[in-house]
Amino acid sequence: MADNHKPLIRVTVFNTRKPGLANAQYIEHWLTIHQKIAAHGSFVQDSSITDRYAILPEYNRIKTETTWQIPITPEDHALGASLSTSAGPVYDGMASFLVPSMEVLTRAFSDADYLSTVRPDEDLFIDRSGTKVVVGYEYVRIVDGKLV
C-alpha cells in the first residue's frame, strides 16, 4: 500500500453572472445545463475533460464529480458580510479544481472539446469581465493512488 503526500495545485475561480440574468436563472443554468456539459463529458466521445487531463475528482458543487462549484445566493452574501470586518468583492459563484500541474489545466482549457462546447455554454451565464482566479498549493494524502 503506497502512502504519500503530494502537493497539488488548487485553482479557484470566482465569477459573476451575465448582466440581466437573475440569480435564480444563473444557478439553474449552472446546476442543470452546465453541470451536465462540463462535469459529465457528454461533449466528448471517449472521456470527460476532467478524466482526460487528470483534473482530480472532487466536485462538490452540489455533488457532481470533478471539482467543486458553489453558486452564491444573496443570503450567502449577507451571511458573509455579517462575518467580515470589511466588505469584499461580490461574486455569484465559485469553482475549484485540483490539478497536478498548471500545464494540465492549460491543456484542458485549450482542448478542442472545451473550446467548442463548454466555453460557449459558460458564455451564456458567466460575465468573464468579473472573473477572478486564485492559485495555490494544496497538500493532499494519497493512498494507493487515491485521494484520502
Gap between the Cα atoms of 122 and 21, Å rounded = 13
pLDDT in tens, 51-83: 555 555 443 333 323 344 566 777 777 777 777
Amino acid at 118: V
- What residue spans define the domains of the chain? 3-147
pLDDT in tens, 115-129: 988 899 999 999 999
Quick one: what percent of the chain has pLDDT higher than 70?
67
Please, which residues bridge with residue 68 across strands? 96
Gap between the Cα atoms of 122 and 101, Å rounded = 23
Q: What pLDDT does 143 receive?
A: 75
Q: What pLDDT does 125 receive?
A: 95
Choose which CATH entry (3.40.228.10, 3.30.70.100, 3.30.1330.10, 3.40.50.2000) describes domain 3-147: 3.30.70.100
Q: What pLDDT does 2 receive?
A: 53
Give 46-73 as a DSSP string. S--HHHHTTPPS---SSS-SSSEEEE--
Cell of 2: 503506497
